[in-house]
Structure 1
Amino acid sequence: MKLKAVFLPVAGLIVLLMGSWSFKPERAPVARKPNIILIVSDDLGYGDVGFNGQTKIQTPNLDRMAAEGLVFRQQYAGTAVCGPSRAALLTGIHTAHATVRELSEWSLNGKPADLLPSDVTVAEELKRAGYQTGMIGKWGLDEGGTTGNALAQGFDYFYGFKTHREAHHYYPEYLWQNNEKVLLPGNDCARKIGTYSNDTFASQALTFIQKHRDGPFFLYLPFTLPHNELTVPDDSKQPYQTLGWPERPMKVAHYHHDPDGNLAYAGMVSRLDRYVGQIMAELKKQKLDENTLIMFTSDNGPGFDDGFFDSNGPFRGKKFQLYEGGIRVPFVARWPGTIKAGSVTSHACAFWDFLPTVCELAGVRPSATIDGISYLPTLLGKPKAQKRHDFFYWEINEREGPIQAVVMGAWKGIRFYEKPFELYNLRTDPGETANLADQHPEVVARLKAVMTETRTEHPEFPLTKRKARY
């Protein structure tokens, strides 16, 4: 009610004010828990976005996220390939201890690399805090069709690809909605016609936001862009067709690529950016903007670029490698009114830090033993309250493996199978150009000890040389 104070006698005004001072509510108002949206791209490099220096590919919506939010300069993926990287993201446990350490094709006996009932995901934790949970896009942790099912791992709603090989094609015959196949009539992978799968993911995400606008909700939104195969509708390639770029012819085999890889790749990244813009617009439309933390990252380093796009930015390496280019990924967080706009942090964090971060935000403690540390203080602009890791650990066995890596402060150590140890000072040499192993044997010994001591054995993922079971 608006008070017309100019017409009140002075005494009456004083009485009114005294009454308001003496009023004591029965209980303090409960703060509304924020909605949480995590968007994950697939094989997008650190340097593929404008806010990290990309000049050829247009990413205006992601750049706006950065201008209105916080950019992390040293965020690490779970590892350098999708499945185990996503497992680390969802469970808060890195590959030294994880249930999923490789894709199924690289397990010792070919057993499906799935999450188990004993794994506690971020969705399960947030449900304890009263959140509605949705997973839309590429799951990739249900290879065996049993315990890894997203609905068995804390998600109320699932739409997308269950397995990583299903996600290799953009015009699939079907997608999954919960446990039912949804046929996509008219789709033809080879001819690349029909419904573009990621368009449906974006549409489903908007519907999920609308349906759960009263919140709180957690939406995990892992698109498959710009993973192979390289194909995208023509409207996303159009802005790049007259720029005179060198063509990159693509061979068609398992992946039904478009003829020119450079045009397709740029168009895929820009289409992904378009989806991000649609989601931010929907949040504003639903008046959820200031009560939603939205984050964007990638599951590992780039898998396509041959140098034309500088997809790995200033770093060495790419997907399947544990050099910085394979595991350091773009990361931006936006929360209007809470996160300071246009801010940048050098705080080092990793995928396994996501779970404790949102748990702290939601007011619950992780119910399992994890490797992660919450970076909520960094999000809130309180660097003095931020705890830091003693070290970060990764392993991978695909193609060049087994490989282990540890980052401890400025030092980065990489141990290859039956090859010399590599040591880099990331503070002075972020591009990992100068191997200092011979000059610092004491640092090498310390990092080797960490690699050995922190790792627990897993019968399907020993550190032995092996080939994929394709």
Structure 2
Amino acid sequence: MLKKIIILAIVVGFAWACKTQLPGSSDSSKKPNIVFIMADDLGYGDVGFNGQTKIKTPALDQMAKEGVVLTNHYSGSPVCGPSRSCLLTGTHTGHTTVRGNPNWTTSGADVVLKEDDITVAEELKRAGYHTAILGKWGMDEYGVSGQANAQGFDYFYGYRRHGEAHHYYPKHLWRNTEKVPLEGNIPEETFGQYSHDLVANEALNYLDERAKSTEPFFMYVAFTTPHYELTVPEDSKTPYENLGWEKRPMKKGHYYNDEEGNIAYAGMVSRMDRDIGRIREKLKEHGMAENTLVIFTSDNGHEYDRGFFDSNGAFKGRKRDVYEGGIHVPFTAVWPNKIPEGSTSNHQSGFWDFLNTACEVAGIAPTKKDLDGISYLNALKGEKQKVHEYLYWEFNEGAGPRQALRKGDWKLVRQYKKDDELYNLSNDIGEDTDLSKINAKKLKELQALILTARTDDPNYELVKIVKKK
């Protein structure tokens, strides 16, 4: 009898030990953590795993080797504000709340996230996650409803407003709703504490804190690199000096650029890559890597390059274009033992799919049933994946409204006071040959579909906008 009691005690004790592991350690019964890392204005071809040869991105290249690359992933918009709105709310620019950057509205009003918007952070909090946004928020120009802490994030550190993020040596950042003065910073002299470094270190500190808890977490790291202004500390320029590169002199204006652009741009990208590597190492250090899905992408296409870096790869256009160069972005994800190493997927996905994906990872259904997103989790895992009927974008700044719709291999591009353009991306990813004149049936099909892809919004009418002063 005593022997049976001893054996039972050993079994119970072993089971309890397995269940009560140290905080941060791998536990298959714990919901997976999610880390979403986003660059700002990084081109599809700016990373080594998509063919970049001049700029070194070893950490991202290693991530691609250990995980999956999605070759047909799209940002929410060709500029940052609406792209982030799509990411957060699971809706494309025909339906999302913020469809343009500040000042670019037909009503003249600045638009921020509304109280009744349900963000991915709010969904994950419902599933028991601790949530943090570090870096560029850019969804709050003036109002309480647009603040990160009012949209499901437990912790926020970085840039609150859109325009604040244009400078890397700002006089302050924000921690939740409080200003954090950066003593000694002189923005116009690019002197002081480099904001990218502060954000990267905050991400590492956050992971240290999460390692003390058994609570799952969602960490959204929104780096501002390599967005203008083009400036980076000297140690990131050193590897690119004396290589015989052509020079691109830069001037100071709204952006306090360094004197030489190409070296600064490459240094910014590599510094970001370095810190992504540090984030992944920190996850490993705390035993959290195996239970964490890490995603990397960019908020839209590049703005800086004029051909030296081949930032577009094969694509036409850049930031602010609805051609592929403005919206077709790099994407890689890693999740040990869940995502096959060294895999690729040509599944067509967009920023508005992330909310659905995160919900599936967390084991919940999205609150709203009329979202535009479809979870791409199966595509990440190399399994059979549901596909979109179509992908849609709209954008309206100085040149007037632009729209694009992709259905399968076919893409319609509609621009202000121009004839509609039609491309078959299966054999013309560079959008060089307009087929609208020789394939009238397909043109009419997509023209009819694009009329159904958006809802009217008095702030975002499809007319030419006169920018608010």
Task: Report the TM-score range of the alignment, normalised by the length of the smaller protein.
Answer: over 0.9
How big is each residue's C-alpha offset from its partner over 1:61-119, in whole Å with a ceiling of 9 and x where there is no partner? 00010011100000000010000000000100001111110112111132112000111
Alignment check: 8 A CA contact 1:106 1:466 kept: yes
Residue 418 of structure 1: how far off its partner (Å): 1.1
Could you tell me which residue of structure 2 aligns to residue 328 of structure 1? 328
Question: Aligned letter for 2:432?
Answer: T
Alignment check: 8 A CA contact 2:319 2:327 kept: yes
Measured in 1, the distance between the counterparts of 2:300 and 2:415 equals: 19
Deviates more, 1:450-459 or 1:174-183: 450-459
Q: Equivalences for 1:19-168 in 2 at 5 Å?
A: 31-168=29-166
CA distance 1:72–1:252, shift in 2 (3 Å): same
Q: Any idea what SS the aligned residue of 1:89 has?
A: helix
Residue 401 of structure 1: how far off its partner (Å): 2.6
Could you tell me which residue of structure 1 aligns to residue 22 of structure 2? none
How big is each residue's C-alpha offset from its partner over 1:372-423, in whole Å with a ceiling of 9 and x where there is no partner? 00011112221x2x10000000000023230010000110000111101110
Deviates more, 1:106-115 or 1:226-235: 106-115
Deviates more, 1:337-346 or 1:222-231: 337-346
Q: Any idea what SS the aligned residue of 2:249 has?
A: coil
Q: Does residue 357 of structure 2 align to residue 367 of structure 1?
A: no
Q: Any idea what SS the aligned residue of 2:431 has?
A: coil
Question: Aligned letter for 1:395?
Answer: E
The structure with the largest alpha-carbon Rg is: 1
Measured in 1, the distance between the counterparts of 2:59 and 2:397 equals: 34
Q: Any idea what SS the aligned residue of 1:357 has?
A: helix
Could you tell me which residue of structure 2 aligns to residue 348 of structure 1? 348
Measured in 1, the distance between the counterparts of 2:107 and 2:254 equals: 24
Measured in 1, the distance between the counterparts of 2:289 and 2:98 equals: 35
Query: What are the ranges of 5 or more consecutive residues in structure 2 without an aligned counterpart?
Result: 20-26
Measured in 1, the distance between the counterparts of 2:277 and 2:467 equals: 38
Question: Aligned letter for 2:111?
Answer: A
Measured in 2, the distance between the counterparts of 1:194 and 1:251 equals: 20
Q: 1:173 aligns with which of 161, 168, 171?
A: 171
Measured in 1, the distance between the counterparts of 2:361 and 2:298 equals: 22
Could you tell me which residue of structure 2 aligns to residue 406 of structure 1? 405
Measured in 2, the distance between the counterparts of 1:45 and 1:293 equals: 23
Q: Any idea what SS the aligned residue of 1:379 has?
A: helix
Query: What are the ranges of 5 or more consecutive residues in structure 1 without an aligned counterpart?
Result: 1-11
Measured in 2, the distance between the counterparts of 1:77 and 1:281 equals: 27
Q: What RMSD over aligned residues (CA atoms) do the two structures have, in Å?
A: 1.8
Could you tell me which residue of structure 2 aligns to residue 237 of structure 1? 237
Question: Aligned letter for 1:331?
Answer: F
Measured in 1, the distance between the counterparts of 2:395 and 2:110 equals: 16
Could you tell me which residue of structure 1 aligns to residue 248 of structure 2? 248
Measured in 2, the distance between the counterparts of 1:423 and 1:318 equals: 18
Alignment check: 8 A CA contact 1:104 1:110 kept: no
Alignment check: 8 A CA contact 2:102 2:162 kept: no
How big is each residue's C-alpha offset from its partner over 1:18-76, in whole Å with a ceiling of 9 and x where there is no partner? x99xxx99xx9982111100000000000000000000000000001001110000000
With structure 1 as the length reference, what TM-score do the two structures score? 0.93
Q: Equivalences for 1:202-217 in 2 at 5 Å?
A: 202-213=200-211, 214=213, 215-217=215-217
Could you tell me which residue of structure 2 aligns to residue 296 of structure 1? 296
Q: Any idea what SS the aligned residue of 1:75 has?
A: strand
Q: Does residue 432 of structure 2 align to residue 433 of structure 1?
A: yes
Residue 182 of structure 1: how far off its partner (Å): 0.3
Could you tell me which residue of structure 2 aligns to residue 7 of structure 1? none
Measured in 2, the distance between the counterparts of 1:228 and 1:244 equals: 24
With structure 2 as the length reference, what TM-score do the two structures score? 0.93
Alignment check: 8 A CA contact 1:113 1:144 kept: no
Q: Any idea what SS the aligned residue of 1:450 has?
A: helix
Measured in 1, the distance between the counterparts of 2:443 and 2:379 equals: 31
CA distance 1:146–1:112, shift in 2 (3 Å): farther
Residue 469 of structure 1: how far off its partner (Å): 2.4
How big is each residue's C-alpha offset from its partner over 1:337-387, in whole Å with a ceiling of 9 and x where there is no partner? 2111111111110000000011011011100121000011112221x2x10
Residue 444 of structure 1: how far off its partner (Å): 1.2
Question: Aligned letter for 1:145?
Answer: G
Q: Equivalences for 1:378-397 in 2 at 5 Å?
A: 378-382=379-383, 384=384, 386-397=385-396
Residue 145 of structure 1: how far off its partner (Å): 3.0
Could you tell me which residue of structure 2 aligns to residue 9 of structure 1? none
| Residue-pair matches, total | 449
Alignment check: 8 A CA contact 1:36 1:293 kept: yes
Identity score, percent: 54
Question: Aligned letter for 1:449?
Answer: A
Q: Any idea what SS the aligned residue of 1:64 has?
A: helix
Q: Equivalences for 1:208-227 in 2 at 5 Å?
A: 208-213=206-211, 214=213, 215-227=215-227
Measured in 1, the distance between the counterparts of 2:108 and 2:165 equals: 20
Alignment check: 8 A CA contact 2:35 2:221 kept: yes
Measured in 1, the distance between the counterparts of 2:200 and 2:250 equals: 27
Measured in 2, the distance between the counterparts of 1:239 and 1:110 equals: 46
Alignment check: 8 A CA contact 1:35 1:216 kept: yes
Measured in 1, the distance between the counterparts of 2:75 and 2:277 equals: 24
